[in-house]
Chain A
Amino acid sequence: MRIFDPHIHMTSRTTDDYEAMHAAGVRAVVEPSFWLGQPRTAPASFLDYFDSLLGWEPFRAAQYGIAHHCTLALNPKEANDPRCAPVLDELPRYLVKDRVVAVGEIGYDSMTPAEDTALARQLQLAADHGLPALVHTPHRDKLAGLRRTLDAVRESALPPDRVLVDHLNETTVKEAKDSGCWLGFSVYPDTKMDEERMVAILRAYGPDRVLVNSAADWGRSDPLKTRKVGDLMLAEGFTEDDVDRVLWRNPVAFYGLSGRLVLDVPDTGATHEGSSILRGGE
C-alpha cells in the first residue's frame, strides 16, 4: 500500500514516527504550516519556521525515504494577532520556492474580521502564484464555518477545483462536495474523524476528490491513521484500486496542481541513510 499523507505536522514528530510511517507504506507527506501550540509574537518566528519546512524537515524526511513538501501561510488562529499579521507581506517571496505545493492552512478559527481579511488575501496569493489552497475548517460552529469558508472561496479568484477543504465530517461533507472543492478528512484518535466513520463516508459519497490525512501534530494524534483507514477500507470491501486512489492518487492530483510535486525522494547528498541524525554507534 503506497500512502501520501496530505496533512501532517512532522516538525512535531520524532524519527521513530518517520520510521514507522515508512514501514506502513508512507512515501510522501505534505506539511502545512500551522499554529505551534505556543503563540508566536513576531513575523521572524514564522520565517524561521518556514525555513525549517523548506530545509531541515525535508532533509529529515528523506533520511527515511519519504518525500516532503509543504504549504505556507499565516494560520487562522494567529491571523487575529496584529503582531503576526505582517507575515502576510513576507509570504510572496516564500510562495515562489520549490516544494511549496499550496497556500495553507488558511481558513477560519473564530470567524473574525481579521480572519476574513487573511483568508481573502491568501486565496488571492494562491491565485497569483499558480498554487492551490489548503483550507482548514473550524472546530467550533463547524457547519456555519464551512458555509462562510465556501462563500470566501466563491468570492475569490481561485476556482473551487483548486481548493482542498479540510477537517470535514458527516455534517459538512455534502455541502463541501456540492461546492466542487476537494474533500479532506483528518482521522484522529479522539476528535475529528475515526476510521469507521471515514469508511462510512467513503461508502456514502465515493472516493472522488477525497483525501484522508492523519493531521498528526504535537497533540494526541497518530501518524499511522492513513494506513489504518486503508486497512479498514480493504476489510470492508473496497478494492486496492480504491485505496490507492484515496491514499495516493488523489493527493498527488491535488498537490500536483502546483506543478511542483517531486515524488522521488531527493538525494540527500553526502550521506547514506542519514548518519547525521543517527546517534553514535548505530
Chain B
Amino acid sequence: MTHRHPAPDTPVARPAHTPPDELRTRLHARLDEAARSWLDRALTEAAAHPGTHGPISAWELRLAEAGRRCGPAHADAARVLVLHAARADTAALTRVYRQGTADERRAVLHALPHLVADAGALPLVEDALRTNDTRLLAAAVGPYAARHLDTHAWRHAVLKCLFTGVPVAEAADLPRRARGDAELARMLGDYAAERTAAGRPVPDDLYRVLTLTGAATPPHTTDDPHGKES
C-alpha cells in the first residue's frame, strides 16, 4: 500500500524530527481545501509579521485557532509551522508556552529543535517534565532535550517516562545517550527491584533501556504500566 494520499485524520508523525519544509508538504496532503488555504494564509502572515505586536500578535492568534482550523489531529504540525514561519525566538516561545493550552505547549516543545540552537529554552522542557500530562512528557523528551538536557535531568526524564507509561521510543537519541550509562542502569535496576518487591510488574520498556546501557540484563516476565508521580 502506498501513502500518496494519507488518511485525512492521521497526524503527520514526529513533527519535532521532520524538517519544516517536509512537514508542510506532508500536512498539505492531509488537509482539505479550506484548511489548506487557512494554513497558507497563516504562514504567509506569520512570515511577514513576526515578532510581538500589541497584546497578542496575529501569528499568536493563528496559533490559538490552529486546532479548530486544521482539525485536532493536525494541530501539532500546523502550530509548529506557524511558530517556524514567525521565526519565534526563545523569548517568544517562552511567552507562548506560558500562556498556552496543553496543546499549544506541546507544539512549542516540538518546535524547539527547529528554532533554538542553544540551551536557552531548557526551562520549558524542565517545566513539561514536572507535569504528569503524558502528552507534554512525550513532547519534552524530543530532539531538543536529547541535545541539551544534562545527564542527571535526562536520566530522570527517562525514568519518568517509565513511571508514567510514555513509551521510551519517544525519547530522542536514546541509544546514544544511554550507551555505557552505568548510573542510569543502576536507577533502572533499583526501580525494577522496587516494583518486584511490591509484587508489581516491571515495564518491558525498562529492560529495553537497560539493554541500551550495555549493563547485564536480568530476566523478566511481565509488562504492565505503571505509576503516578505527584
* B120 located at the interface, meaning its Cβ lies under 8 Å from any Cβ of chain A in the complex: no
The residues in B between 163 and 218 inclusive whose CB is less than 8 angstroms from any CB of A are 163-167, 170, 195, 198-200
Residues in B whose Cβ lies below 8 Å from that of A276: 132-134, 137, 163-165, 226, 228-229
Residues of A within 8 A of B (CB): 51, 54-56, 58-59, 92-93, 96-99, 259-260, 262, 264, 266, 268-272, 274-281
State which of B60, B99, B102, B229 has its C-beta within 8 Å of the C-beta of A59: B102
**Can you name 15 A-B residue pairings with CB atoms under 8 Å?**
A58-B102, A92-B55, A96-B61, A96-B64, A97-B101, A270-B166, A271-B166, A275-B164, A275-B165, A276-B137, A276-B163, A276-B226, A280-B200, A280-B228, A281-B200
Size range of the interface on B? 35 or more
Known interface pairs A59-B133, A270-B134, A275-B226. Does A96 touch B167 (Cβ–Cβ under 8 Å)?
no
Report how far A271 CA is from B200 CA in the complex, Å: 18
* B75 located at the interface, meaning its Cβ lies under 8 Å from any Cβ of chain A in the complex: yes
Residues of B within 8 A of A (CB): 55-56, 60-61, 64-65, 67-68, 72, 75, 99, 101-105, 131-135, 137-138, 163-167, 170, 195, 198-200, 225-229
Q: Are A98's CB and B75's CB within 8 A?
A: yes
Report how far A276 CA is from B195 CA in the complex, Å: 16
Report how far A97 CA is from B164 CA in the complex, Å: 27
Nearest Cβ on chain B to A180's Cβ, whole angstroms:
27
Residues in B whose Cβ lies below 8 Å from that of A268: 134-135
Q: Are A278's CB and B228's CB within 8 A?
A: yes
Q: Are B67's CB and A98's CB within 8 A?
A: yes
Report how far A272 CA is from B203 CA in the complex, Å: 13
Q: Are A55's CB and B105's CB within 8 A?
A: yes
Report how far A269 CA is from B170 CA in the complex, Å: 11
Across the two chains, which residue of chain B brings its CB closest to A59?
Answer: B133
Nearest Cβ on chain B to A30's Cβ, whole angstroms:
16
The 7 closest A-B CB pairs, nearest first, are A275-B165, A55-B102, A280-B227, A276-B164, A270-B166, A271-B165, A269-B135
State which of B56, B72, B101, B226 has its C-beta within 8 Å of the C-beta of A262: B72
Residues in A whose Cβ lies below 8 Å from that of B164: 270-271, 275-276
Report how far A56 CA is from B134 CA in the complex, Å: 10
Report how far A266 CA is from B76 CA in the complex, Å: 13
Nearest Cβ on chain A to B141's Cβ, whole angstroms:
10
Besides A51-B101, A270-B164, 9 other A-B contacts (C-beta < 8 A): A55-B101, A98-B64, A98-B65, A99-B101, A275-B134, A276-B133, A278-B225, A278-B226, A281-B198
State which of A54, A96, A279 has its C-beta within 8 Å of the C-beta of B227: A279
Residues in B whose Cβ lies below 8 Å from that of A54: 101-102
Q: Are B103's CB and A98's CB within 8 A?
A: yes
Known interface pairs A97-B101, A269-B134. Does A279 touch B56 (Cβ–Cβ under 8 Å)?
no
Nearest Cβ on chain B to A64's Cβ, whole angstroms:
15
Report how far A239 CA is from B151 CA in the complex, Å: 63
Report how far A58 CA is from B135 CA in the complex, Å: 12
Report how far A160 CA is from B26 CA in the complex, Å: 43
Q: Are A270's CB and B138's CB within 8 A?
A: yes
Q: Are A93's CB and B55's CB within 8 A?
A: yes
Nearest Cβ on chain A to B75's Cβ, whole angstroms:
7
Residues in A whose Cβ lies below 8 Å from that of B60: 93
Q: Are A92's CB and B56's CB within 8 A?
A: yes
Across the two chains, which residue of chain A brings its CB closest to B71?
Answer: A262
Residues in B whose Cβ lies below 8 Å from that of A56: 102, 131-133
Report how far A125 CA is from B225 CA in the complex, Å: 45
Report how far A277 CA is from B133 CA in the complex, Å: 9
Residues in A whose Cβ lies below 8 Å from that of B166: 270-271
Residues in B whose Cβ lies below 8 Å from that of A269: 134-135, 138
